[in-house]
Structure formats: C-alpha cells, structure tokens
Amino acid sequence: MARGIKLFKVLGIQISIDWTWFIVFVLFAWSLSAGYFPFRHPGFTPGTYLAMGVVSALLLFACVLVHELFHSYTSNRLGLEIREITLFIFGGVAELTKEPDDPATEFKIAVAGPLASGLLALVFWLLSALFTGEAYPVVNAILSYLALINIVLLVFNMIPGFPLDGGRVLRAAWWARTGDVDRATRVASLIGKGFAVFLILSGFLQMFTGNFTGGLWSVLIGVFIQQAAESGYRQVVIKRALEGLKVKDIMSKDVVTVPEDKRISEAVDDYFIKYHHATFPVTSNSHVSGLLTLNKVRNIDKSEWERKSVGEVMEPLGPKDTLSPDDDAIEALRKMASEDNSGRFPVLDKGGKLVGILSRTDIMKLIEFRAGLQK
C-alpha cells in the first residue's frame, strides 16, 4: 500500500492516507451536515451544519487513527514492528511486517483497537454530559455523535470475519483451540466473505426498496470486506510460506548468461530455444550489463537477427531490476510484483558479482508448495 500520501509520524509510526479517504471524508461531512445533524438537532443555520459536519468528520478520522494506533502500539510492544498506518476508505490498515507467532499475541493486537474505540465512546459520552445540550447545543451535538460513532466503529470492527478485528479474534480463538493456524485463517476469512455477501445482498435489497443511501453504504462496505478477506488471506499464506527466508535461500545458483557480443540469432538458438527462459542476464567481461528479454527479441525484424548483437537490444540494468542475496524473500516478492518487469531478477552480491537468479514463477511455486505442506 505505497500509494498513501504521507502525513506525519506518531510514536515512530508513519501515518499516511489513501486518496480514497478524501472521497469518504467529503461523503461523511456532507451526509452529516445535510442529513444527520439537521434531522437529530433541528434549528441551526446551514453554515453551522456545514461546520458541524466538517469538524465531526475530521474528529471521526482522528478516532479511527487512535483505533489504529492502539493496534500498532500493542503490536510494536509485542515485537511485531509496524512502520506505517494507512487510512483509507473504511478506516485504517496498520501494516504488519510479520504475522504473529502465537494466538495470544494475535488476540492482544486484535482487541486493542476495539478497546480504544470503546474508551473513546466513553470519553465522548462523559464530555457530552459535561457540555450539556442546553448550555452548548452545537458542541453537545458533535460530542454525542462521536460517542455514537465510536460505538459503531467498535461493533463494526468486532464482526467476526477476517481481516476485521473480530475475525482476528475468532482466528486467534480457533488457533488456540486447535493449534492449526492455517485452518483458523481459512475459517475466519470464509466467515468474513460470507458476511460480505450478506451485506452486499441486503444492501441491494435496501436500495431497491426505498433506502438507497443506506443500501449503497452496505454494498460498498460489503465489497470492501470481501476484497480485504481475499487479499488478507493471500497475504497470510504468502507471509507464512516465505517467513525467515532470504533471497539466497531460494534463488537458482546456476545462471545461464548471454555474452553481450553474441548475435541475436545465436541468442535465440543457443539460449531461448534451449533453456525456455523468457529473460537472460547479459554479461560483458564477466559483469552483468543488462537483460535480454524474449519480448525485445520478438520486436526485432528477423532479417536483422544476424546483424544485431545482444548488447544492442538488451535492456540496461537498473537498481530496480536486481536483488541482493540478503534481501528478505517477502521484500523480493514485493519488488517483483510492484514494477513492470521481466519477472526474472539477477541476484548480485555487494561487489556486483552475479551469484544467482530468482524468478517470479519460482517464488510462486515455492509458496504453493510450502502452503500445501502446511495443510
């Protein structure tokens, strides 16, 4: 989730917002100032409602942030480092750098957020009792809303479907009872998906029976949970399969390289046809100078294959195209997935010497293989 806009740091954790957050912010501010506040607290001017809507939406954002910070703080204290929190469409995501090793840790991290929301609800409720509706009508309206919305956040997050907090609690409980973390993850994410389908269907039903806005929210939240359940599950499988592995543990050590001065025709006959790889590192004076890809070769007219050399058509090698033997396998996968690349990465040691090669397909096969063993 690197597409966040970086805001500031709290407790050493980078806080970012996803661009989708702006859409939700406007929707919230608008629906509060045009719907909720005039309905619940009639008698103010439109300007006052607008101010109430914007202030409440901003404070709601702060509450979501506190919720995520409680998760992150707990997580960091338990040794699972969190470096970044991204706030996006329906709340926030604190990105765990690794998965918890035991159910108790998972449970503590999961409940910390809802606990924060519960505490915030209590604080806002007490404040609303202090700043009464008679003496401070506007302030009281905002405080009451914040008390209510924190209860909503608490309840919503405790829905027992992974990757929501409730789903993580369920996963921890199942894991503690059976000792089988993978099955626990599958069950929790299946329940998450089931709940998402329920929200989507009931949302459509509401949309067509008169409650359009409420129904639309329900559908949107359902789609969000569905996607999160899917990608959350995949991430857990990948993290568990690759945890603790370095590039040097999984790379292929015998690398076939093509010398820069070969003709294209020779590269096709002696390399592409012979070895079935789509990419080869190109060497000159035993140094890797670039990558020769099948795509590049295909784009060159056959009549020129005899004339052109590999060095003339290879892609130059940038820092984004190589790995180091000590890179984490998970980081390597992220690098391979994020860029538009050939899918095969030369592994270079500190001196720039070629020590191996790692392909996306190799990594995917390994994940499949190890996930199969964990069943």
Q: Does 341 bind Zn ion (CB under 5 A)?
A: no
Closest separation in Å from C-beta 9 to Zn ion: 20
Cβ-closest position to Zn ion? 113
Site for Zn ion in 165-224 (CB under 5 A): 165
Q: Does 232 bind Zn ion (CB under 5 A)?
A: no
Segment near Zn ion (CB under 5 A), from 40-48, 152-160, 229-237, 314-322?
152-160
Q: Give 225's contacts (C-beta < 8 A, 6+ positions apart).
A: 159, 161, 164, 192, 193, 195, 196, 199
The residue (of 167 and 203) whose beta carbon lies closer to Zn ion is: 167
Pattern of binders to Zn ion over 58-97, x per CB under 5 A?
----------------------------------------
What does DSSP say about strands 13-17 and 82-88: parallel, antiparallel, or unpaired? parallel
Pick from 263, 261, 247, 268: nearest CA to 357? 247
The residue (of 144 and 189) whose beta carbon lies closer to Zn ion is: 189
Segment near Zn ion (CB under 5 A), from 107-115, 179-187, 211-219, 343-351?
107-115
Closest separation in Å from C-beta 228 to Zn ion: 12
Position among 157, 189, 218, 359 found at the interface with Zn ion (CB under 5 A): 157
Phi, psi of 92 (to 5 degrees): -135, 165
The residue (of 66 and 207) whose beta carbon lies closer to Zn ion is: 66
The residue (of 224 and 305) whose beta carbon lies closer to Zn ion is: 224
Instruction: Specify whether the CB–CB gap between 164 and 200 falls below 8 A.
Output: no
Instruction: Specify whether the CB–CB gap between 277 and 343 falls below 8 A.
Output: no
Q: Does 113 bind Zn ion (CB under 5 A)?
A: yes
Residue 219 one-letter amino acid: V
Segment near Zn ion (CB under 5 A), from 157-165, 206-214, 350-358, 365-373?
157-165
Segment near Zn ion (CB under 5 A), from 34-42, 51-59, 82-90, 159-167?
159-167
Instruction: Specify whether the CB–CB gap between 140 and 128 falls below 8 A.
Output: yes
Q: Does 106 bind Zn ion (CB under 5 A)?
A: no
The residue (of 84 and 165) whose beta carbon lies closer to Zn ion is: 165
Segment near Zn ion (CB under 5 A), from 19-27, 106-114, 251-259, 300-308?
106-114
Segment near Zn ion (CB under 5 A), from 38-46, 82-90, 160-168, 223-231?
160-168
The residue (of 113 and 167) whose beta carbon lies closer to Zn ion is: 113
CA distances from 44 to 52, 60, 127, 148, 362 (A): 10, 21, 21, 21, 64
Q: Does 161 bind Zn ion (CB under 5 A)?
A: no
The residue (of 228 and 297) whose beta carbon lies closer to Zn ion is: 228
For Zn ion, the binding residues (CB under 5 A) are: 113, 157, 165
